[in-house]
Structure 1
Amino acid sequence: MPKAKRETRARSKSRSSSRSRSSSRSRSTKKNSIPVTPTAVTPPRSPEHLKSSTQSKSTGRSKSPARSKSPARSKSPTRSKSPARSLPKKSKVKAEPTPPTRISSRIAAMEEEKKIVDTKEILLKSVIETKVLEEKKIFEDKKFEDEKKVRKTSKKEFGGTIGVLFFMVTLPAIVFTLIQMCHKDKCSIWTVPKIPKNWKYYLDPKAGAIVVGWFILQALLAVLPFGKVVEGQPLVDGTRLRYRCNVGVYMQLPLTMVYDKLFPLMISSMIFSLVFSLFCYIKSRRAPVTALAAGGNTGNVLYDFFMGHELNPRIGPLDFKIFFSLRMSLITWLVINLCFILKANQDAGGCPPALIAVTIFQGLYAADALWFEEAFLTTLDILYDGFGFMSAFGNLVYVPFLYSLQGLYLVRHKVALPYYILAVITFLNVVGYVIFRGSNSQKNEFRRDPFKPSMAHLDSIPTISGKRLLVSGWWKLCRKPNYLGDIIMAVAWSLTCGFGSIVPYFYPIFITIFLIHRERRDAANCQQKHGVSWERYCSAVKYRIFPYIY
């Protein structure tokens, strides 16, 4: 075949093949094209659609823009169905996570905003809880280190060493002076007390025998295996002391002798308290460091002797704190009041109504403390204060001889009060007792188990030590409602003596000053112990003892 002819046939064949391929591509494009309706608008993607899209990409499948807008993937009624297209089995390109869209970011922001502005109280509690946890961590880190060391304090109460020396001299002088001021002729602070010159008036063998015998008798009654055994609060080393709570009053003495020898009995009690305090201090020098009271462990002998070096001194089952604070003080006080009633009957052939009233008031107070003896285990005396001269002298001398000063005044000075005045005084005493007993019972029950069903309605604030501060019930009235009730009762007792002398009002004046100082001490300890929780508690309960006053 000629060469020109072969070239002409090859070009013809090439053009035919090109036209065939072009036609094929044109037909394929028309076949796979998707008509788009002009009025159709693609709706915004929903979170479910975004989630579905993310899952589809995570499987390694890819989408074309035409496929994403197809009716098979969208619920828009204006779109027509597109023929199904086969997808590659495996994608060679690795799918990347879908970045957050504007809508998903908006949803997350709305949820975060909702958490923040849900309620101010929740936010406040969250901040408090965070601070409490931080302080608790610091507290727990130092706890074991502190337990290994001797617990000491550099802060001294009552004016330090000079102050306690002053009290050791003036406290006996106050009791001596008040008893001597209240004699039969006149009872006034302007009366110069007569100082007996005969030493036998001070040191009476019978009076000393009565004091020592009474102590031994009460000690035996305290250790008898009768009554309920109660565990105290945890100590520094984690142990709990066991206390036997029982009430026993046993007396086989001529009752009038107590009144007749009241002054030498008081002197004998002073001497006994001094001797017993020395015994307790010597004993405390051999006690383990975990048994010492931080407030009475300064290294100064005189100060530690006064405040109490050992926290809970005891000999066998006899606990000195419980024994002196309840039995030796309160039962002796009650017996002295009963002796006053007997003396008044012997002298006048009858007992004045005011004396009967004050004896009942104070008898109720003493019986309450003995009946609810278990509640005493959660007080500041048991938990923090040591047992030294202040406790021994206070319980052996101050309580029985000065708290009975109203009865002594009414025996020696006849006070006739109208019955309606006595009714008002009685009502005042009942109000004080209700506040005193209600708040103490509520506190004791809450401290033992704050999650008890009967405590569920009470609000409280958590602390770093794991305890909770009560801000409801009686404890919403003020920070120390039990102190308020105590002071109200003290005023009622003195009102039975009328207004002829200020001497019978020594007790309410003294107890008010004492409890204000005690509340201040407790507040300082709580501030150091609870930190931010205590600040929140003070903002919730503004008044210390007297509502709207202090």
Structure 2
Amino acid sequence: MGAKKKNVPPTTMSSLNKREKKAASTIATKLTDGASDEFEFGGSIGATLLMTGFPLLMWYMWIGATYYDGNLPYPESNQSWLEFGQHLCQLVYLGAYPTAKAWAIYWAFFIVEAAMYCYMPGVSNYGRPLRHEGGKKLPYYCSAYTSFYATLAIAAALHITGLFPLYTLIDDFGPIMTVAILSGFINSFIVYFQAIVRGRTHRLTGYPIYDFFMGAELNPRIGILDFKMFYEFETYGYVSPEVIFLAAAHFLYTNACAKAEQMIITSWDMYFEKLGFLLTFWNMAGVPFTYCHCALYLANHNPSEYRWNPFALTLLSAVYIFMYWMWDSANGQKNAFRHKEKGQLMKRNTFPQVPWQSIDNPKTIKTDAGDQILVDGWFAIIRKPNYVPDMFFSMAWGLITGFK
């Protein structure tokens, strides 16, 4: 439905960006759903660099965590940059080759999660009206909360019975990560070309590299399985307090995403952003295999190397709990406000239910466009109450690895 620039002659990469910027203003007048009048991420050149840089960065970080004791890899004094690059490639080949076992682990997990999406107990709701579909609202099935706990139960059972010890994920981290990288590319190609074949493209610019990166279809789905919704969440004989802290922190974050799944269906991501390489790759590979590097560091080091003072760790934990409450309740206030506006607020008995998650008769400011902005609750105290805790979480996950 979006405007498509046809018959684009061959051009160099340097001139492509200039032509994209020139075409942007023309394209923007024809697009719907509030499209920007500028190409994002530097157009085709930026998209190409990011698609190349994403996997290289992931392998580089993995090499640093695995072979350089968590430090940044760099050439030795007697090593040229070419020799250094060859050395890194050799490490990837030796330690991160995509084995058949890694393919089986990764895709078994995804197939099981897709089945849970469709068949686990959940709730249904509708997204925002789509202008290019004549105001149609797509239905969404939200089962992430029950699927999350079912996944934990299955993982525990597999570990206890010895069928699949969870430390396998650490032992085979490199191969599984490479499988995730390749799967991200493969799935992106499938999503892009099937949209073209089925005639379901939306807001194409006519620049294939950029369109592949940003996506061709808005809401690819099979039955009730909406793919964009689907992508959107023993060594020492004891568990160290730092590992417990990190596991609890990651549990709270993941659990919060699952328990409030029904709140994201009216978000900008679901309403506007298409499913392309950007969302597909980062949800299938980038997020799970980069956000876990603090856990990877703890798994690869003796607790004596990152041990915290007990009082300092207690203080960090207390601040973390407060920040979690701010993050959970602020997001709850914002989402409850938006859903109340549309008469779609749905209350679920999920864990944990923190205080101050919604506000009755909140104070608002009316914008020039006629929309209402929430200026009550946390949003009357701090400008970005949902982002400040997020930044603290990232800092805390890094701090827990110690100071060596």
TM-score by length of 1: 0.56
Task: Indicate the larger mover: 393-402 or 180-189.
Answer: 180-189
- Aligned position for 1:313: 220
Q: Secondary structure at the match of 1:230?
A: strand
- Counterpart of 1:234 (choices 122, 129, 146) is 129
**1:277 paired to 2:172:** no
Q: How does 1:196-275 map to 2 (within 5 A)?
A: 196=90, 198=93, 201-224=96-119, 226-236=121-131, 237-246=134-143, 247-248=146-147, 249=151, 250-251=154-155, 252=158, 253-275=164-186
CA deviations 1:350-395 (Å, max 9, x no partner) are 2221111111101110011001111222333212211111111111
Q: Secondary structure at the match of 2:40?
A: coil
- Counterpart of 1:370 (choices 258, 278, 287) is 258
Change (3 A) 1:150 1:396: closer
**Distance (Å, rounded) in 2 between the aligned partners of 1:483 and 1:284:** 34
**Distance (Å, rounded) in 2 between the aligned partners of 1:451 and 1:238:** 14
One-letter amino acid matched to 2:71? S
**Distance (Å, rounded) in 1 between the aligned partners of 2:368 and 2:136:** 20
**1:427 paired to 2:318:** yes
**1:158 paired to 2:41:** yes
Assess if the C-alpha contact under 8 Å between 1:428 and 1:492 holds in 2: no
**Distance (Å, rounded) in 2 between the aligned partners of 1:280 and 1:387:** 8
Assess if the C-alpha contact under 8 Å between 1:153 and 1:298 holds in 2: no
Change (3 A) 1:472 1:321: same
**Distance (Å, rounded) in 1 between the aligned partners of 2:199 and 2:319:** 47
Q: Secondary structure at the match of 2:403?
A: coil
CA deviations 1:18-47 (Å, max 9, x no partner) are xxxxxxxxxxxxxxxxxxxxxxxxxxxxxx
CA deviations 1:268-315 (Å, max 9, x no partner) are 0111110100111112225666x72x4xx3221111111122222111
Aligned-residue offset at 1:165: 0.7
**Distance (Å, rounded) in 2 between the aligned partners of 1:484 and 1:230:** 29
**1:172 paired to 2:55:** yes
Assess if the C-alpha contact under 8 Å between 1:308 and 1:386 holds in 2: yes
Assess if the C-alpha contact under 8 Å between 2:359 and 2:377 holds in 1: no
Aligned-residue offset at 1:434: 1.7
**Distance (Å, rounded) in 1 between the aligned partners of 2:322 and 2:120:** 37
Task: Let me know the Cα RMSD of the aligned residues.
Answer: 2.7
**1:399 paired to 2:310:** no
**1:497 paired to 2:365:** no
**Distance (Å, rounded) in 1 between the aligned partners of 2:372 and 2:165:** 51
| Paired-residue identity, % | 30
- Counterpart of 2:205 (choices 292, 298, 309) is 298
Structure 2's unaligned 5+ residue stretches are: 1-28, 76-86, 159-163, 346-357
One-letter amino acid matched to 2:111? I
Runs of 4+ in 1 over 6 A off after TM superposition: 149-152, 451-454
Assess if the C-alpha contact under 8 Å between 2:96 and 2:177 holds in 1: no
Q: Secondary structure at the match of 2:396?
A: helix
**Distance (Å, rounded) in 1 between the aligned partners of 2:36 and 2:232:** 25
- Aligned position for 1:441: 332
Q: Secondary structure at the match of 2:140?
A: strand
Q: How does 1:315-334 map to 2 (within 5 A)?
A: 315-326=222-233
CA deviations 1:463-505 (Å, max 9, x no partner) are 46553111222223444321222111111111111222xxxxx
One-letter amino acid matched to 2:139? R
**Distance (Å, rounded) in 2 between the aligned partners of 1:153 and 1:186:** 43
Aligned-residue offset at 1:163: 0.7
Q: Whose Rg is larger? A: 1
One-letter amino acid matched to 2:135? G
One-letter amino acid matched to 1:472? D
**Distance (Å, rounded) in 1 between the aligned partners of 2:217 and 2:398:** 36
Assess if the C-alpha contact under 8 Å between 2:217 and 2:274 holds in 1: yes
Q: Secondary structure at the match of 1:159?
A: helix
Aligned-residue offset at 1:204: 0.5
- Aligned position for 2:298: 410
Assess if the C-alpha contact under 8 Å between 1:230 and 1:242 holds in 2: yes
Assess if the C-alpha contact under 8 Å between 1:428 and 1:489 holds in 2: no
CA deviations 1:38-64 (Å, max 9, x no partner) are xxxxxxxxxxxxxxxxxxxxxxxxxxx
Change (3 A) 1:478 1:157: farther
Change (3 A) 1:280 1:486: same
Assess if the C-alpha contact under 8 Å between 2:96 and 2:175 holds in 1: yes
One-letter amino acid matched to 1:431? F
Change (3 A) 1:189 1:201: closer
- Aligned position for 1:182: 65
Assess if the C-alpha contact under 8 Å between 1:273 and 1:396 holds in 2: yes
Change (3 A) 1:380 1:429: farther
Change (3 A) 1:225 1:260: closer
One-letter amino acid matched to 1:302? I
Task: Provide the aligned length of Structure 1 versus Structure 2.
Answer: 332
Aligned-residue offset at 1:150: 10
Change (3 A) 1:282 1:451: closer
Q: How does 1:53-72 map to 2 (within 5 A)?
A: none
**Distance (Å, rounded) in 1 between the aligned partners of 2:321 and 2:188:** 36
Change (3 A) 1:298 1:150: farther
- Aligned position for 1:527: none
**Distance (Å, rounded) in 1 between the aligned partners of 2:392 and 2:261:** 21
Aligned-residue offset at 1:263: 0.3
